[in-house]
Amino acid sequence: MNGGMALWGGFSSFFSIWQVCILQISPFFIAFIAGSYLATPDQKTDRGIFRWFIPSFIAYGASFTVLYSLLIASGLTISRPLIGNIGSLRIASGILILLVGLYILLVNRMPFLSKMHRPLLLSVLSLIIGATFAIIYSPCITPMLSDIMGLASQRNTANEGWYLAFFYGLGISIALCMTSLALILLFRGRGIILRNAGLIKNVCGIILLALAFMNMTGLMRHYKAFVLGFVL
């Protein structure tokens, strides 16, 4: 297996039966992107969309991929404290997601938040969302991920496993960002979306608050069991 194969493995897992597992994060990322989009003044032009969202997708992909691969590579010394403290990290992630959710809810209501709403801030928020989603995501073990985890868990092959996990995570990120971009392009210019922009944005914020709540209280595992229960 090489990096390209791992990238394809992660990417294709998003569009297969394993999507059920990625439902742990995908609706919430889409809520974040859709909420951010509807809060963005420069939302109607292609240039505006790309200026606001392409850096965000890159920031999300970078932080998600790095943390996801480190959490897979249990054989690496640097990963051990992360995996060992995953419970605390999930609670911290819940707090950060809560703040992002509140931001989405309140950005057009509070003047100081409206002033802060710039492409750079959106990229920073995406960086945070990427890191937190890598922490809260407990991946389903696809056959390819099984092999990667086998390599990544042993000290003598941990670097190779981490490298492959990096590309696997990158594949998932690319698929998720592509889906979100497609959604934004679908939103653009739709009268019904624009007329209900406030309501949709609020729903997106509330969805993120629900995710924050599930992570802070440990209910996330029940959510995972619920979505995966449909496969059985």
Partner 1 sequence: MNSTSCFRNLCAGFFLMALISGCSEEVSRPLLQVGEKAVPFTLELTGGQQSQLEHYAGKGLVITFMSSWCPCSNESLPLMKQAHATHKDAPVAFLMVGIQDSRSNFENFVKKWNVPFPAGYDKNDHIAKDYGVSSPPTTFFIDKNGIVKRAFYGNIAKKPDEFQQWVKEIIE
Binding site for partner 1 (CB under 8 A): 71-72, 74-75, 80-81, 83-88, 91, 94-95, 98-99, 102, 106, 109-110, 138-143, 145-146, 149-150, 153-155, 212-213, 216-218, 221-222, 224-225, 228-229, 231-232
Among 27, 22, 2, smallest CA distance to 11 is for 22
Q: Crossing angle of helices 197-217/26-38, nearest 10°?
A: 140
Nearest distance in Å: CB 148, partner 1? 9
Of 8 and 223, CB closest to partner 1: 223
Nearest distance in Å: CB 173, partner 1? 18
Instruction: Report, in angstroms and rounded to the nearest whole number, the Rg of the chain calculated over CA atoms.
Output: 18
Of 98 and 203, CB closest to partner 1: 98
d(CA 66, CA 78): 12
Instruction: State whether residue 79 is helix, strand or coil.
Output: helix
Of 155 and 190, CB closest to partner 1: 155
Of 136 and 177, CB closest to partner 1: 136
Instruction: State whether residue 17 is helix, strand or coil.
Output: coil
CA atoms within 13 A on the CB side of 109: 9
Nearest distance in Å: CB 105, partner 1? 9
